[in-house]
Amino acid sequence: MKSLLLEQEIVAPSLTASRERVQVDGKFFRRGEERFRIEGVTYGPFAPDAEGHQFPAPDVVRRDFQRMRQIGVNTIRTYFLPPHWFLSLAEEEGMQILVDVPWPKHLCFLDRPDAQQEARRLVRHAASVGKNYSSLFAYSIGNEIPSDIARWHGAKKVERFISELYDVARQEDPHGLITYANYPSTEYLDLSFLDFLTFNVYLHDREAFTRYLYRLQHIAGEKPLVLGEIGMDTMRHGEEEQAEFIGGHLREARLLGLAGTFVFAWTDDWYTGGFQIEDWAFGITDRERNPKPSFHAVGDVYGRSPSALLNETPKVSVVVCSYNGGPTLDQCLDSLMKIDYPNYEVILVDDGSTDNTKEIVARYPEVRAIHQENQGLSAARNVGLYASTGEIVAYTDSDCFADPDWLAHMVYPFQRTDAAAVGGPNLTPEDGWVAACIAASPGQPTHVMENDQVAEHIPGCNMAFRREALESINGFDPAYWKAGDDVDVCWRLRHAGGWIGFAPGAFVWHHRRQNPRTYIKQQKGYGEAEALLRFKHPDQFNHRGDGKWRGFIYGAFLRGVQVEEPMVYRGTFGAGLFQCVYRPGSPHWLLLPGSLEWHGVMAAVGLTALVWSPAWLAAAAMLGLSAGVAVMQAAQARLEPRYESWRSRMMVARLCYLQPLARSWERYATRLRSFHPPHSQPVIIEGDARRLPLSGTYTVDYWSEEWRDRTEFLQEVVEFLNEHRWTKTVDTGWTNWDLEVFFHYWTALQVRTVQEDHGSGKRLIRVQYKLRLTRLAKLVGQVGGVAALVAVMFHSLPAALVGGAMTGMVMGAWLHGTNTASKVVKVFDGIARRMRFIRCTDPEAESEGPESSPGEMSGASMSDPPEEMSGASISDSPRDKVESGGN
């Protein structure tokens, strides 16, 4: 196959240092220091001239470029490599060019060596020409390989060949950008090695179009997403409908954070397959270049920033909480000062920093700084909330810096939906190879999606809330000092009936930990947060303490080890218009070798080897399996190509091995520490101890004549426990108790309340305390029982000693728990006195154990209430009151 491209003569380079080429900048592009938005149209193909070039004459091209610039077009997409004069003219007119490299993709090219060789030759030639021109924006090394051909060859082989073409272009032009123009029918192709993703999408329904853009943004991940073609035929739909369609779709794409769009096409003059096309008219100008209404619709969007396209710009309060964040704080605040949004404020909460935070923030008079003693991350975020004045409160961290369009993209989902909160991605900046390895390791903060638009969790470094929604759940829980506050607030928001949206274009750059030591420290902090979260949200965790996410965790490093091949929905006979990939999750058994429990068993086997040498083989096999899983995970992790080396992979493997151990260790350690109540006894819980009876169940009644409600009583108790950092679990709606307090790792105390209404504000509130064994105590008891059974059956003295010791431990723990639970009873008594409740003595409880304290009603009982209760009998039921006409 002879190519016209090879007939072009390569001229001397015209690229100068003063005219920089476009580069990737996160999910967008930049040229020099300026944001470069791809605002494009497709150009051609046109009927070939006498020399075989499928482009108009130079004077026509110049007029086209000038007309394009009038409506903000700055980039064109061509379907052939233009001649040199065309590239030079584009430089003169300030136009960028995305060049499609045509090769025989319509053939079963992987079965034909000549077709593959032709593709390599054409790509290499295009790159050798394009590298000389600053007007060459990028190369598209392929366009819409037919889905049946991709199915015929297999996705992996097609991906491998496109990757090979990428390498050919990169070797020839190291500084050029490279993409491939995909489409929905081969959406499943994994082309993450490209510099940016390009999709041709023709969806007339705007809501369907929006949903699909969300999906494509998740596929693109941290890469820019560009619409390679979007258009409508005016012969079938009319010019006015085309204008409304293009204007609305372009606006939607801009607000959803796409890096660029190409409208198909500039003109109705279109030649392909050896014929002039007469029965389609996709142009925004007609064949004589006369503008259609869509010409002006394009101009209404191109050239305008996302914030200028918003219908409204509500005030946003940006809150940054910092504790010794000096090394990155200056970069953070500087980025916030450059945000392109007309109505926002920045609040910095300095949570007791001892570094140079005060000096840094003093350089930014626009920033409202609040300095306080160290109270923890959640408390600092609440301070920022209550100091803010915006309708929307957005949070980021001092080790982040924001994209200029961050707030505009964050606000848009609030406008188009009733989401209570919105989050966005956090990208890894250029911090060197060690930080890149850490970014590719597990445990990074990220979003968890239930579907393409609804999130289950958004990371604290990039989240925003409607003020009223956040205040309705009382903000953040101060119990979380280091981490976990974002997970807790998302779960509580969802429990309250709200839902969380996602803004794929609203990203911040988030510095990862700079060395393995700080990374492991971060993971230990996450483990501590998970332990605290489990007390409050037990339904969200499994028995090992790992979170149970209903949604999908995005990011290759968070999917775990992939063993099974992904499944692709292709439609009947492979003819589906939207062919999606479904990736299976990591097998659960592969998580076991990396767990702390596995290593505990491994250590026990190793100790056994001291008396039975074959156990060394078992211990070695277990260690080898753990290391092998870590190596597999590291091999599948995605590293930046420039950092790809055996050293980097070994670093990632080491971190994959250590991360679950550090996280689990701290999770267990925190749970053990959290079982102990505070040693200091506040005044409010002074009084005689009321030890629970041996049955572990105890009921206390309180009388009130002031319309005090049991939920108010419970809330007072919870606030006290929060203030004094008692570990507890509050009913999530799925339990038959109200509160569970952990004061020992062997036992826990469940508290349940009920309320009797007796009219005229008189209420009886009953509180029942029930001691229970923890899972650990039950396990020890079960092992003791088995040991005792073995001792009886085999007359084994060691088994009898083990069984007796373990049974004694459980009994001692139960006795200790009945005594320790008195602290909780005293808390309720103290809160009751503060709320002016009268404690009634339960005869049953009185006979079993605790007696009334001097300040209580001596001799009063459930059936014999005091006369001063305004004549109301505690034995009267609410039904009796209603039937007798009482209030």
- Cβ(700)–Cβ(828) under 8 Å? yes
Whats the size of the chain, residue-wise?
Answer: 887
Tokens describing residue 534: 């489990």
Cα–Cα nearest to 309, from 37, 27, 76, 24: 37
Low-confidence ranges of the chain (pLDDT < 50): 1-18, 556-558, 680-684, 843-887
* Neighbouring C-beta atoms of residue 110, cutoff 10 Å: 17
Return the axis-axis angle of helices 615-636 and 646-674, rounded to nearest 10°. Answer: 110
CA atoms within 13 A on the CB side of 239: 12
| Coil/strand/helix, residue 12 | coil
With a CB cutoff of 8 Å and minimum separation 6, the contacts of 732 are 495, 537, 538, 539
Distance, in Å, from the CA atom of 574 to the CA atom of 837, rounded to the nearest integer, reads: 73
The pLDDT tens digits for 294-314 are: 999 999 999 999 999 999 999
- 222: Cα separation from own chain's centroid: 13
- Cβ(528)–Cβ(483) under 8 Å? yes
pLDDT of residue 845: 42
Cα–Cα nearest to 248, from 281, 221, 289, 213: 213
pLDDT of residue 844: 44
- Cβ(426)–Cβ(507) under 8 Å? yes
What are the b/e assignments for 257-278, b being 16+ CB within 10 Å? bbbbbbbbbbbbbbeeeeeeee
Sequence-ordered alpha helix ranges (H) in 400-478: 406-416, 433-439, 467-472
What are the b/e assignments for 151-175, b being 16+ CB within 10 Å? bebebeebbebbbebbebbbebbee
Distance, in Å, from the CA atom of 233 to the CA atom of 208, rounded to the nearest integer, reads: 19
Instruction: Report the largest interatomic distance among the alpha carbons of the chain, rounded to a whole angstrom.
Output: 114
Distance, in Å, from the CA atom of 479 to the CA atom of 410, rounded to the nearest integer, reads: 28
pLDDT of residue 553: 61
Reported in sequence order, the residue ranges of 267-391 that DSSP labels E, i.e. its strands, are 271-272, 275-276, 316-322, 344-351, 368-372
pLDDT of residue 870: 35
Does the pTM surpass 0.85? The reply is no
pLDDT of residue 353: 92
Q: Mean pLDDT across the chain, nearest whole number? A: 86
- 323: Cα separation from own chain's centroid: 23
| Coil/strand/helix, residue 739 | strand
The pLDDT tens digits for 760-781 are: 889 999 999 999 998 888 888 8
- Cβ(343)–Cβ(410) under 8 Å? no
Residue 14: C-alpha distances to residues 62, 134, 170 (Å) = 19, 8, 19
The pLDDT tens digits for 36-84 are: 999 999 999 998 877 777 899 999 999 999 999 999 999 999 999 999 9
How close are the terminal C-alpha atoms of the chain, in Å?
96
- Integer-rounded Cα radius of gyration of the chain: 34
Amino acid in the structure at residue 799: A
| Coil/strand/helix, residue 813 | helix
